[in-house]
Amino acid sequence: MNMKLLALCVVLAAVSACHKSPPEAAVSAAEKSAGAAQAADSKDKDKDKDKDAGEGVSLTPAQIEKIGLQTEALKTVDYAEEAAGYGTVIPHEAIAQAVAELRTAQAAEKQSRSALSRTQRLSGTPGAMSADAEEANARQVAVDSAALNLAKQRLSASFGQKPPWSGGENSALLQALADGTQQLVRVTFPLGALPGEAPKTLSASRLGSAGKRWKLTSVWAAPADATVPGRSFFSVLHAGELGEGERVIAWAPIGTPHPGVLVPAEAAVISDSKYWCYTEDKPGTFVRAEIDTAKPFENGYVVTQGVKAGDKVVTRGAAQLLAQESGSGADAD
């Protein structure tokens, strides 16, 4: 019996030893190890943050001149939210044909009216024409007037009821569109994208391009597009830099404008799937700043953070600065 009691005491002593707290030295070592790991992780994050923000590039005046680096002071602009639609540059041949039909009908109607007027003026005189001739001229006036009205209706059916040349079919604008010296752009916005009245101005750029925009003026309602539901408008492009038949993306301002800073498109560079620009922090030192390109505007981007008005942004040579900072290009000599 005593032997069993002794064995039980031995077992209880072993179990108690297993549940004792570890020595203080062991606890201290574990805490130090965890603290070191946390500090290292924090340091790595700080390095990544510094890398994202850009460490900057310093150049001498000779290096700046060699790469042709140029800067431009950022300016404040008023930016409004925009609705996007798709447009097409109308070939001027279609306009020229409609204008030719209109002018032919005008000339024919004018001639027949002159003939009828002459016949009526000579009526009762020795040189008077027969009543049949006068009736024929009157009938021709009616036919030519109907043809002229039809030409006008075709023009309005194709290019809207209230175009800028309304009431003056021979206006300079209509002739410029027919000649191709100015371009007509048809734009359609999705249903619900553009509420309210027609916009006063539009802007457009090439598909897949975040660069140059062209301002469109003289906006008026266009006939509905049977293939695309939405609101359609015609507008005039004065630059003439887009190809006829070319598809474009168009924007119409909506909402209340608010201020922002306009970063030129040529100042933007891409790195790690982000957009950046370089500003001159101090003479000869250029720092990279991330920008948001979600608001394209007049050949650039409106941003509200990262840069501010008055900052000197690099508009030429930004790619060379990025290559030098990332180590993918040779240093400027």
**DSSP letters along 148-169, please?**
HHHHHHHHHHHH-SS-TTTT-T
What pLDDT shows up at residue 299? 80
Pairing of strands 75-79, 202-206: unpaired
pLDDT in tens, the chain (333 residues): 444 444 444 433 443 444 444 444 444 444 445 454 454 454 454 444 444 555 689 999 999 999 999 999 999 998 888 888 999 999 999 899 988 998 899 899 999 999 888 887 777 676 666 777 778 888 988 998 999 899 888 888 888 888 888 766 557 888 899 988 999 999 999 988 887 788 888 988 888 765 678 889 889 999 888 887 899 999 999 866 788 999 999 989 887 888 999 999 999 999 999 999 999 999 999 999 999 988 887 788 999 999 999 999 999 999 999 999 887 555 555
In the three-class reduction of DSSP (H, G, I as helix; E, B as strand; rest coil), residue 13 is classed as helix
Domain locations along the chain: 52-79+259-326, 82-90+181-258, 94-159
With beta carbons less than 8 A apart as the criterion, state whether 290 and 276 touch.
yes
Q: For residues 54 and 304, what is the distance between their CA atoms, to the nearest angstrom?
A: 19
In the three-class reduction of DSSP (H, G, I as helix; E, B as strand; rest coil), residue 273 is classed as coil
Task: List CB contacts of 187: < 8 A, sequence separation 6 or more.
Answer: 85, 86, 87, 202, 204, 216, 222, 232, 233, 234, 235, 250
Q: Does pTM top 0.85 for this prediction?
A: no
With beta carbons less than 8 A apart as the criterion, state whether 52 and 45 touch.
no
Picking from 256, 248, 259, 263, the residue whose alpha carbon sits closest to that of residue 297 is 263
- Tell me which of 3.30.70.20, 3.40.630.30, 2.40.128.110, 2.40.420.20 is the CATH number of domain 52-79+259-326: 2.40.420.20
With beta carbons less than 8 A apart as the criterion, state whether 93 and 178 touch.
no
Domain at 82-90+181-258: CATH code: 2.40.30
With beta carbons less than 8 A apart as the criterion, state whether 263 and 222 touch.
no
